[in-house]
Amino acid sequence: MAAIKRKNKNKLSNKFRISIYNDTTHEVLFSFRGNGILSILTIIFLILLFALSITALISFTPLREFIPGYPSAESRRTLIQNTIKLDSLQNEVNLWRLQLTNIQRIVTGKEPVRADSILSLAQYNDSLVTASSAYAKDDSLLRSEVLKEEQFNLSTHNGKIEQIEGLHFFPPVKGMITQEYNTAVNHPFVDIAAPENSVVSSVLDGTVIAAEYSELNGHIIQIQHDNNLISIYKHNAKLLKKVGDKVSAGSPISLVGNTGRQSTSSHLHFELWHKGEPVNPADYIKF
């Protein structure tokens, strides 16, 4: 065993030479002399030097952005912007919490919290959560009671808003009013000039109750809405909905045209009726 160890040790301590010759002239181009231990140490040093060089090259040069998963400069900029926005949103939430807390304290006869107490608002969180839980429980009980009444048709009213003030109407088409609403001259509607084949949209959610063609008014479509409202669209080039279709506010229902004997140019004839009476659409819709 000792002889084998000495033999291996002698191999590591043996000297050798690595040379590169010119094959034609046999001139020595490169020569390296060393022993086994020195060669191993040299190889290890070169490997470490290569690894350190690659690490430094990637860490301190723009090449690092080509590594999959490494954030680019744009990603880091977006992250910073999102962090700033998140901080602003948190401040807004704190202000809303402060206002809600002050409303509850004023209602209960307590002194409102000062605006400079936003950062110390945590001391009021328990009472705020307790009150919110109580409100949520009452709201759930009320909702269950209403659903029970509706299930057996026990409610005595339909719960719909009967006035149209405050409703959000979607413009039927983008254009210019060429003839305004005027009941004095038997013109209870508005004419809106628009390019032919422009999209006509429903002003509210509803159901199509008429979709037909008339020699006088061309292609006509009528929509029944909640709150006893009916909208009428005439002189269309083409109808996109049929009777019975459900439509939502802003959804396409037809195309602007110039159909019917009473039409002299490309426009939309638009009427709005409430409880069987015509109303001026310009009072509720911004064309």
DSSP-assigned letters across all residues of 223-246? EEETTTEEEEEEEEEEE---TT-E
Asked if 173 and 194 touch (Cβ cutoff 8 Å), the reply is yes
Task: Copy the structure tokens of residue 126.
Answer: 């328990």
All CATH 2.70.70.10 domain ranges of the chain, comma separated, are 176-283
Asked if 209 and 231 touch (Cβ cutoff 8 Å), the reply is no
Q: Give the pLDDT confidence score for residue 162 in this predicted structure.
A: 57
Asked if 235 and 268 touch (Cβ cutoff 8 Å), the reply is yes
Q: How far apart are CA 17 and CA 146, in angstroms?
A: 98
Q: Angle, to 10 degrees, between the axis of helix 73-107 and the axis of helix 125-151?
A: 80
Q: Give the pLDDT confidence score for residue 141 in this predicted structure.
A: 64
Q: How far apart are CA 173 and CA 267, in angstroms?
A: 10
Class of domain 176-283: mainly beta
Spell out a b/e string for 153-188, using b for 16 or more CB atoms within 10 Å of the CB, else e: eeeeeeeeeeebeebebebbbebeeeeebeeeeeeb
Q: For residue 121, with 0-12 CB atoms within 10 Å meaning exposed, 13-18 middle and 19 or more buried, which class applies?
A: middle
Can you give the pLDDT of all 287 residues of the chain as single tens digits?
555 555 555 555 666 677 787 778 778 777 767 666 777 777 788 889 888 888 877 767 766 666 665 666 677 778 888 888 888 888 788 778 777 877 877 777 777 766 555 444 555 555 554 545 555 555 566 666 656 655 544 444 443 445 677 788 999 999 999 999 998 888 899 999 999 999 999 999 999 999 999 999 999 999 999 989 999 999 999 999 999 999 999 999 999 999 999 999 999 999 999 999 999 999 999 88
Q: How far apart are CA 282 and CA 287, in angstroms?
A: 7
Q: Give the pLDDT confidence score for residue 66 in this predicted structure.
A: 64
Q: pTM here?
A: 0.46
